[in-house]
């Protein structure tokens, strides 16, 4: 049995029959699904970090590992700064939509701009 969560009410086998359920029902994910989400998270984070480094022209200075780190940390930054403004999630919240990837990319570009500002004294 699966449960669909909709922000303030639960729909599915865990929902109350009165319709006044204000709790969020969570579906447990299996181990295989969690491992797959982690692998996708790393790959998408690496791609976002690579694209951000191409935009900021720092691609020659960083390798694959740093691209993944920039993508994931940039997604955290984008989730903190930009996601509330755009009303979307990021790749760190297992939201792999186009809007979430855009917010994560903008966060990674902002992160690289901040790093360039401290390393070189200019954003570039």
CA nearest to 78, candidates 102, 45, 112? 102
Picking from 48, 36, 40, 106, the residue whose alpha carbon sits closest to that of residue 72 is 48
pLDDT, tens digit, for every residue of 36-56? 888 888 999 999 999 999 999
- State the CB neighbour count (10 A cutoff) for residue 13: 9
Answer whether residue 6 shows pLDDT above 50: no
User: Which pLDDT score, from 0 to 100, does residue 25 have?
Assistant: 42
Residue 86 in this model has a pLDDT that exceeds 60: yes
**Residue 58 — very low, low, confident or very high, per pLDDT cuts 50/70/90?**
confident
Mean of per-residue pLDDT scores for the chain: 77
- Quick one: which of 45, 106, 41 has its CA closest to 71? 45
CB-based contact 56:112 (threshold 8 Å): yes
pLDDT at 28: 56
């Amino acid at each position: 049995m699966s449960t669909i969560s909709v922000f303030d009410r639960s729909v599915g086998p865990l929902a109350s029959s009165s319709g006044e359920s204000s709790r969020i029902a969570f579906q447990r994910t299996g181990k295989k699904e969690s491992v797959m989400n982690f692998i996708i998270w790393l790959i998408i984070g690496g791609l976002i970090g690579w694209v951000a480094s191409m935009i900021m022209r720092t691609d020659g200075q960083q390798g694959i590992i740093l691209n993944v780190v920039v993508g994931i940390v940039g997604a955290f930054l984008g989730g903190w700064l930009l996601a509330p403004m755009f009303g979307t999630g990021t790749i760190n919240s297992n939201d792999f939509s186009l809007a979430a990837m855009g917010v994560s990319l903008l966060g990674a570009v902002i992160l690289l701009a901040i790093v360039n500002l401290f390393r070189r004294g200019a954003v570039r």
